[in-house]
Structure 1
């Protein structure tokens, strides 16, 4: 959806702005959104194993080094690994750089798949990135408000108004999460990068989480 209107600043908008700023400052600090803690508490409700979560963190760190070696400062590349699927977003200067980044990341041990969403264009502005952080926060808050979406199972990444959704979810959950994200003001497009699991697989995961 394309939105041309901007609403006046309200208390919810101020809260979302503060949340976005906190997200930019630290991805690890626990945050309070809609009465629910988002951050370190997600570890215990994540549908990945603890080992896979650590592996994803390791992949992201290694990928940052590999990308720097491949393209240097020629672009702005964001790397998100979820269950060893790596999403590349941002901007690079040329097609050859886009290919070089994907190849460098694909060679990292443990990486299963690389989803290359890099755009060949100039790097986004600070204002654009700040707006993306606000949109990410609004989508997350919408999931919590919806009640019928397991918010902690979904990773939200926003780049130039496009929202990418990652996570291990059922087809039902994937469709519902996508519909909610599309309804958030300012979201231009929603791209699903989900790993779809069956309802039976979900039932297997949930008892294990309850035991932690």
Structure 2
């Protein structure tokens, strides 16, 4: 998916799909959100979507579980659209299927490990903590490569050191929220943003 906060599309991607873009429905309900993902799908059906790795954008991220819930509902609808409309040989279709497989595999593995340790009353292996922690720190290193004028180096390093908390949040709360959002993806009422934006920015 091309991020809505920093993306460019050929005009034909929108004009050739204008009716669908303005009247999209899912399970009989209007869908008025996740338009960046929808435009990406239109572009994939026409040709390619490319990423510029050196492009950087500072965007507001979810602040509460409810925000994640809404984002994941939109992501679920888009993933179903990719599986339905993209050719089986399309790389994006293959990637989508692999993502579903990975999600099921990871969730199943975690549940199996928990049951296994509870049944035998043994402490979890240190490797079960050390490996995800090392991978998480390695992935988060990219955060330190972006210099920002609104954050000091000390602040950035301190944020990076909090990676274990982010991993814990993602592995527990967000994992549960994801499955709930998938099960309730037909609820599209939030897309109108009648109560205002999901997040806010504090002036520097």
Asked if these proteins are the same fold (TM beyond 0.5), I'd say no
Q: For the pair shown, which has the larger CA radius of gyration, 1 or 2?
A: 2
Q: Bigger relative contact order, structure 1 or 2, given CA contacts below 8 A and separation 6+?
A: 2
Q: TM-score, normalised by structure 2?
A: 0.23
TM-score, structure 1 normalization: 0.22
Structure ranking higher in strand proportion: 1
